[in-house]
A and B are shown apart, each in its own frame.
Chain A
Amino acid sequence: MSDKPNKIVLKDVHKRFGKKVVLDGLTLEVPRGKSLVVIGGSGTGKSVMLKCVLGLIRPDSGQILIDGQDSMKFSADEREQALRKFGMLFQGSALFDSLKVWENVAFGLIQGRNMPRKEAKDIALDKMGQVGLGPEVGELSPSELSGGMQKRVALARAIAAEPEIIFFDEPTTGLDPIMADVINDLIKSCVQKLGATTLSITHDMASARKIADYVAMIYKGKIIWHGTAAEVDNSGNAYVDQFIHGRAEGPIKMEILKP
């Protein structure tokens, strides 16, 4: 995909839950400093792929390289160190409802990096400012925020520790089109500012077109196409064409139980 060395590489990764094969020899490269968006339908293995890279789920076989190091051979300490490179925006935001908004944003700094609360709060308020949230929001509880504001807080939390790699799991799901575009713009500007490598998964094509340098499509646990964001509309791949145009007819058959 690029001449630069890859930040993350997945090689022939397999994962099954019981009899259900979720990842079936998935191979993917995420170039350093670039934004790769993986598109694909529900249940094709997108979230499992992200969780495998983060070590939240252990693959059955294959290799996952982060900065050239095999993450499946990490000790607990090495994994903890490697995780410091990551930030993640979860699909449902995953904010800690027992903490105030600013404590959520500062969480990784206070608990993960032992930063004094005062210093961490200043950084948290600065990051909240970058996503368009004023300091008064910092004292609220996450449950008092709308879905769009929660996404912004989650984005501020993901970038608070200025990670080298950021994962976005369905960043615009559940948002209205305008708020979704606001979030896409914020993602783009924050990532550019940090110079981070990003891996996003989505089935929102508007979001993919906006934030991607490269696009890959996952189907039945495999990457079936990849290319630049500009190439996605002329991919020549029937699966990609069907997906990006949202057509019911095509090679992708939805598993619907008919009465």
Chain B
Amino acid sequence: MNPLAIIGRVFLDFLGAIGRVAVFTFHGLRHIFAPPFYFRLLVKQMMTIGYFSLPVVGLTALFTGMVLALQIFIGAGRFNAESAVASIVVLGITRELGPVLGGLMVAGRVASAMAAEIGTMRVTEQIDALTTLSTNPFKYLVAPRLLAATLSLPVLVLVADIIGVMGGYLIATHKLGFNAGSYMKNTLDFLETLDVVSGLVKAAVFGFVIALMGCYHGFHSRGGAQGVGKATTDAVVSASILILVANYFVTELFFAR
């Protein structure tokens, strides 16, 4: 086949995919704000996405904070700037590592589960069954997941921020010889509201992206077990990439001068 034709086909497929995701996003958002609302499903999804992700996100944050303290101590030691450990740990965790690593861990755990569940519902005609039972699948399956993930991730990341900072604190005070009081003072003195808020906004965006990709790929899965497997993989990969892309744009929005 003509190489130009191949490039053209790939580009057209890419544009088509963007269009389909945009339409899916529009419908998802519309159904979040239009009644009826399924509060029971919303709470259930918030438990699944937020509460049950806490162990994996908490552990990620703890070890990230610990490693960060060690690495910064070593790096800053080259410039006799060891006192900066506390401030860099807290900024690193709240601005970047808390939301991004938390988002990526939740993407692996939640986007895959959503795609697998909705994908299985698609191939076993359960989504068609919803329609025949006067229930809009977007409203019942997609809207609660989008809203739950968007609301849960900031709370999850806030807890992760605290655990991450505590990880740094533990290493700094027990291994690197920092004074506990002055470490905490340095942490709090350098921390600004915007550092935390920007991280939480990122978390909300990442939560939306994770649920969107999980639902989108699940909704469009085809062809039995293999199709569901592909949808699951695509959901995790696309959610992870979009988290990294969205991270840049939100950072630019908050901090670009």
* CB under 8 Å from chain B, chain A span 85-99: 86-88, 90-92, 94-98
Q: What A residues does B131 contact at CB under 8 A?
A: 54-56, 83
**Per-residue interface assignment for chain A, residues 46 to 64, with 1 indicating a CB less than 8 Å from any chain B CB and 0 otherwise:** 0000010011100000000
Q: What B residues does A112 contact at CB under 8 A?
A: 133-135
- Known interface pairs A111-B140, A114-B36; A80-B134 also in contact (CB < 8 Å): yes
Q: What A residues does B74 contact at CB under 8 A?
A: none
Q: B132, A92: Cβ atoms under 8 Å?
A: no
A113 is an interface residue with CB less than 8 A from chain B: yes
* CB under 8 Å from chain B, chain A span 66-113: 80, 83-84, 86-88, 90-92, 94-98, 107-108, 111-113
Q: B134, A84: Cβ atoms under 8 Å?
A: yes
How many chain B residues touch the partner (CB < 8 A)? 16
B71 is an interface residue with CB less than 8 A from chain A: no
**Per-residue interface assignment for chain B, residues 124 to 165, with 1 indicating a CB less than 8 Å from any chain A CB and 0 otherwise:** 111011011111100010000000000000000000000000
Q: A90, B125: Cβ atoms under 8 Å?
A: yes
How many chain A residues touch the partner (CB < 8 A)? 27
- B121 CB, min distance to chain A CBs, angstroms: 8
Q: Which of B36, B117, B133, B136 has the most CB of A within 10 A?
A: B133
Q: What A residues does B129 contact at CB under 8 A?
A: 88, 90, 94-96
* CB under 8 Å from chain A, chain B span 76-118: 117
- B39 CB, min distance to chain A CBs, angstroms: 13
Q: B125, A54: Cβ atoms under 8 Å?
A: no
- A43 CB, min distance to chain B CBs, angstroms: 15
Q: B132, A96: Cβ atoms under 8 Å?
A: no
Q: State the CA gap A111–B135 with chains docked (Å).
A: 6
Q: What B residues does A111 contact at CB under 8 A?
A: 38, 133-135, 140
Q: What B residues does A161 contact at CB under 8 A?
A: 133
Count of chain A to chain B residue pairs whose CB atoms are closer than 8 Å in the complex: 53
Q: State the CA gap A83–B135 with chains docked (Å).
A: 9
Q: What B residues does A54 contact at CB under 8 A?
A: 128, 131-132
Q: What A residues does B140 contact at CB under 8 A?
A: 111
- Known interface pairs A111-B140, A114-B36; A94-B134 also in contact (CB < 8 Å): no
Q: What B residues does A114 contact at CB under 8 A?
A: 36
Q: A96, B126: Cβ atoms under 8 Å?
A: yes
Q: What B residues does A107 contact at CB under 8 A?
A: 133, 135
- A69 CB, min distance to chain B CBs, angstroms: 17
**Per-residue interface assignment for chain B, residues 13 to 37, with 1 indicating a CB less than 8 Å from any chain A CB and 0 otherwise:** 0000000000000000000000010
Q: State the CA gap A56–B137 with chains docked (Å).
A: 12
Q: A108, B125: Cβ atoms under 8 Å?
A: no
**Per-residue interface assignment for chain A, residues 133 to 176, with 1 indicating a CB less than 8 Å from any chain B CB and 0 otherwise:** 00000000000000000000000010001000001000000000
- Closest A residue to B129 using CB positions: A94
* CB under 8 Å from chain B, chain A span 105-135: 107-108, 111-114
Q: A90, B128: Cβ atoms under 8 Å?
A: yes
Q: B136, A80: Cβ atoms under 8 Å?
A: yes
Q: State the CA gap A108–B130 with chains docked (Å).
A: 8
Q: A92, B134: Cβ atoms under 8 Å?
A: no
B132 in complex: contacting residue of A88, A91, A97, CB < 8 Å? A88
Q: A94, B135: Cβ atoms under 8 Å?
A: no
- Closest B residue to A85 using CB positions: B134
Q: A91, B133: Cβ atoms under 8 Å?
A: no
- B240 CB, min distance to chain A CBs, angstroms: 26
- A153 CB, min distance to chain B CBs, angstroms: 12
Q: B136, A94: Cβ atoms under 8 Å?
A: no
Q: What B residues does A87 contact at CB under 8 A?
A: 132
Q: What B residues does A91 contact at CB under 8 A?
A: 125
A83 in complex: contacting residue of B38, B117, B125, B132, CB < 8 Å? B132
Top 9 closest pairs, chain A to chain B, by CB: A112-B134, A108-B133, A94-B129, A94-B125, A88-B132, A111-B135, A90-B125, A94-B126, A112-B133
Interface residues of A (CB under 8 A from B): 51, 54-56, 80, 83-84, 86-88, 90-92, 94-98, 107-108, 111-114, 157, 161, 167
The contact sample of 18 A-B pairs, CB cut-off 8 A, is: A56-B128, A80-B134, A80-B136, A86-B132, A88-B132, A92-B124, A94-B126, A96-B126, A98-B117, A108-B133, A108-B134, A108-B135, A111-B38, A112-B133, A113-B134, A114-B36, A157-B133, A161-B133
Knowing that A92-B125, A111-B135, A167-B132 are A-B contacts, what are 14 other residue pairs whose CB atoms are under 8 Å apart, sorted by A's residue number?
A56-B131, A80-B134, A84-B134, A86-B132, A91-B125, A94-B124, A95-B126, A97-B126, A107-B133, A108-B133, A111-B133, A112-B134, A114-B36, A157-B133
